[in-house]
Amino acid sequence: MRLGWHARWLLAVIPFLAGCSGFWDAPGTSGSGTGGCTTNCTTASSGAFYILSSGAAPQVAGGTIVSGKLNGISGSPWLLTNAPYSMAISPNGGFLYVSTTLGVFAYPIVNSVLGAATQLTQDDNALGIQIDSTGNWLIEAQQVTGGITMAALPLNAYTGAAAGIEVTTSYAMANTTAAVQSRLAISPDNKNIFVPLGGGGVMVVPFFATAGAGVSPFGNATLIPVANAGGSSLSVAVDPKGRLFYIGQVAGGPSGSGGGLLAYYYSSLGGTLKQASGSPIASGGLAPNAILPDPAGAFVYVANGQGVGTAGNITSFSISASGSTYTVAATGSSVATGTQPLSLAEDNSSQFVFDAGGVSNPHFDVFTFSTTTPGKLDSQFVSPAAASPLAIVAAP
């Protein structure tokens, strides 16, 4: 059972070693490096998590936190033969899917360990992938000249293998040359897919999971344009309770400058979009690269880049409801990360938030939640070396 976000223990940025041998020490050992837990240390444990890395040796590295110490999963890292784009995990936690320049591969997961990969698609260059909530569809967003092609491959949710022929639908969308890698969101009700297109805004595609064999499950797409000239939509997320959806946008703040978090009523899709009270709100940085709503719906976290040579941050926001009216507000809490943090995930014990990415140290951070300040993240460790991570996912 997930715990309340305001009642969890403290921990943060756990160190790791980067390089061909993996992100951290051998399985069963704690992480090492230049940091150390100095305050508010805990003995908490996490579920498994996986980091997708590019760099000189593209790979997936897996880890867990056991009694407050970082442990590499047996066999980690798993090397990739081609440059990666994106990663997703099945709702039942049985398979990890990795998109590369060669295609999409499925890795079975047994006791957190990745098995031999099966290639599901070829040469489709899927910048973003997700698995729908039924586990029966692999969804891809492929950037093509003048637009986006959405692809859907039927899956066997128990074996992870293809269960039919991939079907595609193409959409003509202007200004998609900056379509954002590794970002794709599916609503909790499985009915809408959100694709950030950079300067092109956000494409919303209706999804029909019950589509028959050979029939495209995608409907007519709509476009949510950027709020201000020069803006760029970098990230999307949907409230797990289905109340709101979020867009992280460069030049999307209330004054038209700086990063912005835009919060829209999910129920307003298909009509005139309605923003929550307080939206748009300054995201806390220049480039809101990732958004993580908490399962309870009380807070949402934004990972921000602040420009070359400047530490990024994760800024927290509260979500409150009065009847059917929702309000987003800054909590005043943020925590430092490396430059340009790219991806956020929460572990299945609801005690840890993971951050991966950045072009300067730290490149991998782990946070837990303050027991005294609701929504606040705290950190104690700093990672010592670069690893070029693109994305991080946690086992459900």
Looking at residue 13, its pLDDT comes to: 29
Asked if the peptide bond before residue 295 counts as cis, ω within 30 degrees of 0, the response is no
CB 53 within 8 A of CB 390: yes
Instruction: Give the mean model confidence (pLDDT) for residues 170-199.
Output: 84
Cα 304–chain centre separation: 13
CB 152 within 8 A of CB 142: no
pLDDT in tens, 316-325: 999 999 999 9
The highest-level CATH class for domain 5-394 is mainly beta
The band of 177, judged by pLDDT with boundaries at 50, 70 and 90, is low
C-alpha pair distances (Å), 361 with each of 35, 114, 382: 12, 27, 8
Cβ atoms < 10 Å from Cβ of 55: 16
Largest CA distance in the chain: 57
Instruction: Give the mean model confidence (pLDDT) for residues 185-201.
Output: 94
Tell me the domain boundaries of the chain.
Answer: 5-394
Provide the phi-psi class of 291: left if phi over 0, else alpha when psi is between -120 and 50, else beta: beta
Looking at residue 178, its pLDDT comes to: 55
C-alpha–C-alpha distance, residues 155 and 168, integer Å: 15
Helix %, strand %, coil % for the chain, to 5? 0, 45, 55
C-alpha–C-alpha distance, residues 90 and 139, integer Å: 12
Looking at residue 152, its pLDDT comes to: 97
* Helix, strand, or coil (residue 218): strand
pLDDT in tens, 311-354: 899 999 999 999 999 999 999 999 998 888 999 999 998 889 99
Is pTM beyond 0.85? Reply is: yes
